[in-house]
Structure 1
Amino acid sequence: MTETTILTGRVLSFDGTPFDDTPTEAARFDSAVVLAGGQIVARGTVADLCAAYPQAKRHDHGDKVICAGFVDPHVHYPQTAMIASWGKRLIDWLNSYTFPEEMRFADPAYAARIAARYLDLTTAEGTTTMCSFCTIHPESVEAFFTEAQKRGQRVVAGKTCMDRNAPDGLRDTAQSGYDDSKALLQRWHGVDRLSYAITPRFSPTSSPEQLEAMGALWAEHPDCLMQTHLSEQTDEIAWVKELFPQARDYLDTYEQFGLLGANGLYGHAIHLEPRERDRLREVGAALVHCPTSNTFIGSGLFDMTGLMAEGHRIGLATDTGGGSSFSMLRTMAAAYEIGQLRGTPLHAAQLLWLATAGSAQALGMADRIGNIAPGMEADLVVLDLSSTPAIAQRAAEAGDIWEAVFPTLMMGDDRAVAEVWIGGRRAKGD
């Protein structure tokens, strides 16, 4: 018999988009939510739901905030062990730290250890779904999906394809990249809560032949996501122009090979040309803002407000390990800080929406995750708004719920994540 659970607290969900009008008008607060069979069954008042489900097991969370689990749409789980590596620009950083670490994932045992470590670390931070680049090694994909499957977790991942401008031992070919990706896709895509993403790393590390092969694979499986990087740093863009002299711009290096579409995820997208902005919006592609990475590696300031006003779909991501934290709370704080530098600070409601419903929309999964509503999958986070003395004393002076939430978004860490529920089962907390 399916167990029914009631969580009580300040249950935050979104009935709209807080970038459209007054941010707070898109949000609603209930006092209880009912879980059963891995799904959200109902939300409402404590009295009504306890009366409707008298046999339910009840977990009372007082004035803590219960929201959808955090959704991280752009990560590199193989970079877990070398996160926060000092002081390089993107290309040097890849050569100095990332590529040597990724070469270790030819070892299935090492890949399995890091996959488990990464999912442990992110669960502690309240992240319940992520979309990850793996390495060129099929073993890295197998390890990640196997570990996520054991946990009943909804994840997206794909074998990173790159056949040039990378070290020996970290290159595939156009044909092997296609063949390996197709085999992994057929093995894992749609199994349990797992989805495959076709994954060319970025144009500089894929030949035109490989980009064409990835475009062909995507055309064969258009329901899959395709993830890559776009316009992260100015010197990267200059490199792309040298490698693709006939391309109109960086985006064109994907577009001409069939790698532009509504199921495309384009990480960073900081230094976009007007044509690129227009085309991304026209096709309904998703952009992913990676604020801790953009500041840590010195990439630039993402135009969140301008791109939102143009109608783009945008997610918020940690970009482990170019990003300097596994925490979506820290990522929200960095997004706020970048907004301040651009003169457009984000409201707490906007930040939480980006980390949940907005990122779920970017993944094309807003009907399943990223919000609390009947029929959604039961991935939840319980946030303690008094997790440290510094946060507690500020929250105590708050005039409303949003003023109480904001210090946790700015200063919170894994101590603020009191409980995590994945697929209706508690993954963190007593």
Structure 2
Amino acid sequence: MSTGIILKGQVLSFSRSPFSGGRPEEAARLQEAVAVRDGKVAGAGTLAEMQALLPAAEVADHGRKLILAGFVDAHVHYPQTAIIASWGKRLIDWLNSYTFPEEIRFGDRAYADEIANRYLDLTAAHGTTTVCSYCTIHPESVDAFFAAAQARGQRVAAGKTCMDRNAPEELRDTAQSAYDDSEALITRWHGVDRLDYAITPRFSPTSTPEQLEVMGALWAKHPECLMQTHLSEQTDEIAWVRELFPQARDYLDTYEEFGLLGAKGLYGHAIHLEERERHRLREYGAALIHCPTSNTFIGSGLFDMAGLMAEGQRIGLATDTGGGSSFSMLRTMAAAYEVGQLRGTPLHAAQLFWLATQGSATALRMQDKIGNIAPGMEADLVVLDLASTPAIAQRSARAEDLWEAVFPTIMMGDDRAIAEVWIGGKPVTGG
């Protein structure tokens, strides 16, 4: 057993959701130090308490920097890394103009390896320690992503994207090959080290009813896996779904009919939901993933965070790279704040940090492993410099409490604010 290390600073953790009532800041706990040993959080408390817990441990003093759980990005497309911030398209045109031509390249394992490593380097530099990613239809793209994460000791989820219609021929599989490839990948990767498999039909328009049916059967056979897809992102997408599935009650019904609605389901965007859909998602305990930079960048709409939280939905936060315009969860938190303002319900800094850590971990059903600082949790941590630029420093210096001090970093911070990142109890980058 190692002697471990103690990180001293402003250690932020959560005792409950800041959306659960009362003042949001009351859900947070601020402590002086966190002790790390053998890849896990050994404890958090005063420096003296942590030194008593790990008497031989080195102390790394981060002063007034904020130490919190690493950011958890609950919906990404790592194959879109190289096309991020492409101009001027809405969803369907975005897919046809940018996404599909790029995804065709991922049948080349060497290219998939290059992008997977680049993506994980970029996100770690922004303080993200866990992601849930779509890959492409190519099993090679899944192997590349999991291998890159495994080499880093990183907790991730991912899956082969399944599409058998309304996509270029080079990106179409079949119902049977989607099932067979996905099951082989589950056998190869799920539960290995810190890797989880997510069954991944892209969205209803690119899967025939036959493919959705076999994906539902695969999930029923492997209920330990996550299932990720897209739901009600844009109004023209919803109209397209109605044309393709005229018998469906609504968009969600195109998944529900085929066994693709469940507690471990992740439904990206979920902006334009009908009442029946909201009721069924809540009834199943499914997760809705808010992707604010993507929703504004490609003109999708404004997610109803306040209303959905009030009715008890499970919600995570995500960059949705590359439809999202940033790899940074700080920028994503800022966008979530801005969307809330436009809906008349601005989010508190405690709520934003919770969404980017424990909220997203809860959406991924990983809240017992990551997303918070507590004994026994995996030691994925980020150290934030709350004075990383002159503009942020001058505003933070005038703060009268912690939340006023951290808010400028949420709104204006970037990778310069990331002083240090720990994955599995090991430092991976430093500032």
TM-score (structure 1 length as normaliser): 0.99
Equivalent position of 2:312 in the other structure: 311
Q: In structure 1, what residue type is equivalent to 2:206?
A: T
CA deviation after TM superposition for structure 1 residue 54, in Å: 2.1
Query: Counterparts of 2:49 and 2:359 in 1: how far apart (Å)?
Result: 30
Q: In structure 1, what residue type is equivalent to 2:31?
A: D
Equivalent position of 2:298 in the other structure: 297
CA deviation after TM superposition for structure 1 residue 5, in Å: 0.5
Q: In structure 1, what residue type is equivalent to 2:9?
A: G
Query: Counterparts of 1:53 and 1:282 in 2: how far apart (Å)?
Result: 44
Q: In structure 2, what residue type is equivalent to 1:392?
A: A
The 5-angstrom pairing of residues 63-74 of structure 1 reads: 63-74=64-75
Secondary structure of 1:169 counterpart? helix
Equivalent position of 1:90 in the other structure: 91
Query: Counterparts of 1:233 and 1:74 in 2: how far apart (Å)?
Result: 17
Equivalent position of 1:11 in the other structure: 11
Equivalent position of 2:160 in the other structure: 159
Q: Deviations over 1:163-215 (max 9, x none)?
A: 00001101000000000000000110000000000000000000000000100
Query: Counterparts of 2:236 and 2:269 in 1: how far apart (Å)?
Result: 14
Q: Deviations over 1:24-64 (max 9, x none)?
A: 00000000000001000010001221233221011110000
The 5-angstrom pairing of residues 174-253 of structure 1 reads: 174-253=175-254
Equivalent position of 1:371 in the other structure: 372
Equivalent position of 1:122 in the other structure: 123
Q: Deviations over 1:300-343 (max 9, x none)?
A: 00000000000000000000000000000000000000000000
CA deviation after TM superposition for structure 1 residue 92, in Å: 0.4
The reply on whether 1:257 has 2:258 as its aligned counterpart is: yes
Q: Deviations over 1:348-396 (max 9, x none)?
A: 0000000000000000000000000000000000000000000000000
TM-score (structure 2 length as normaliser): 0.99
Q: In structure 2, what residue type is equivalent to 1:7?
A: L
What number of residue pairs does the alignment pair up?
Answer: 430
Secondary structure of 2:85 counterpart? coil
Q: In structure 2, what residue type is equivalent to 1:393?
A: Q
Equivalent position of 2:281 in the other structure: 280
CA deviation after TM superposition for structure 1 residue 85, in Å: 0.4
Equivalent position of 2:356 in the other structure: 355
Query: Counterparts of 2:327 and 2:16 in 1: how far apart (Å)?
Result: 27
Query: Counterparts of 1:259 and 1:168 in 2: how far apart (Å)?
Result: 25
Equivalent position of 2:45 in the other structure: 44
Query: Counterparts of 2:92 and 2:53 in 1: how far apart (Å)?
Result: 58
The 5-angstrom pairing of residues 25-64 of structure 1 reads: 25-64=26-65
Task: Work out the percentage of aligned pairs sharing the same amino acid.
Answer: 78
Q: In structure 2, what residue type is equivalent to 1:75?
A: V
Query: Counterparts of 2:366 and 2:352 in 1: how far apart (Å)?
Result: 18
Structure 1 alignment gaps of length 5 or more? none
Query: Counterparts of 1:100 and 1:75 in 2: how far apart (Å)?
Result: 18
Q: In structure 1, what residue type is equivalent to 2:184?
A: A
Query: Counterparts of 1:68 and 1:31 in 2: how far apart (Å)?
Result: 15
Query: Structure 1: which 4+ aligned runs deviate by more than 3 Å?
Result: none
Secondary structure of 2:374 counterpart? coil
Secondary structure of 1:111 counterpart? helix
Query: Counterparts of 2:19 and 2:259 in 1: how far apart (Å)?
Result: 31
Secondary structure of 1:408 counterpart? helix
* Aligned partners of 2:3 and 2:54 also within 8 Å: no
CA deviation after TM superposition for structure 1 residue 3, in Å: 3.5
Equivalent position of 1:79 in the other structure: 80
Query: Counterparts of 1:201 and 1:404 in 2: how far apart (Å)?
Result: 40
Q: In structure 2, what residue type is equivalent to 1:204?
A: P
Q: Deviations over 1:236-264 (max 9, x none)?
A: 00000000000000000000000000000
CA deviation after TM superposition for structure 1 residue 2, in Å: 1.6
Q: In structure 2, what residue type is equivalent to 1:8?
A: K
Q: In structure 2, what residue type is equivalent to 1:222?
A: P
Equivalent position of 2:142 in the other structure: 141
Structure 2 alignment gaps of length 5 or more? none
Equivalent position of 2:384 in the other structure: 383
Q: In structure 2, what residue type is equivalent to 1:10?
A: Q
Q: In structure 1, what residue type is equivalent to 2:345?
A: T
Secondary structure of 2:131 counterpart? strand
